[in-house]
Amino acid sequence: MLGDSIPVAAGIAMGARMRGRDLVAMAWIGDGATSTGAFHEGLNLAAVRKAALVVVAEDNKYAYSTPISKQMAITRIDERAAAYGIPHELVDGNDMLAVYDVTKRMVDHARAGRGAALVGVDTMRMQGHAQHDDARYVPKALVEAWGRKDPLVRFRATLLDREAATERKIDDVDRMAKSYAAEEADAAAASPPPDPATVTRGVYAGDDFAVPTLQFVKSPFDSGSQEQESRGAN
């Protein structure tokens, strides 16, 4: 389903241009999503219409349990964009500064009116696809190899090497981030469930949209009952 975000993002970029807004739409997806039809349709549309869209496609090595070698014949995920004639580049996804530099260059390209672009990110999904997935299908040696490329550890070392921060300052930021995350998680857990009556709010144009209701009516062709949709007056 994540491939469906690409045509949506392309539409956002095109809509912004129609309104004269200097906006670049971005979408982040994994390798599995680049194997869906919606990804290719959306990227092709963005390319043809020169929409200000930048797609960041992660080579996570596995789309759930399917290795990337069984998803595509090419070896570089950024080459997905070659068929659509848009700029693309592969970057070390565990080098935070390198990712920033490449992405900024692609965003500047799109904002200048030169159309869509794709950033291929070479990285690794280090855990299962969800809580129910123990990722036993991933070779242990592969996980260990990528564990030595931890982007947070590498970025910490970069900050220290460049004397952009001290160990104490980085530790303070770590504590602050963990505390903030814990507070937000507690607030979310303590929040009441949403009111079902608001389910369509912000989905359709206008605030007075009438949600279709169902009523049971007797069918002349059936001794039982059947559902018939009864729409509101609006």
CA dist 195 and 193 (Å) reads 7
Strands 53-59 and 66-67: unpaired
> Is 137 in the active site?
yes
CA dist 55 and 119 (Å) reads 6
> Is 132 in the active site?
no
Select which of 111, 114, 137, 175 is catalytic. 137
Select which of 17, 129, 154, 156 is catalytic. 129
Select which of 80, 88, 109, 125 is catalytic. 125
Sign of the Cα pseudo-torsion (14, 16, 18, 20, in order): negative
> Is 125 in the active site?
yes
Active site residues: 125, 129, 137
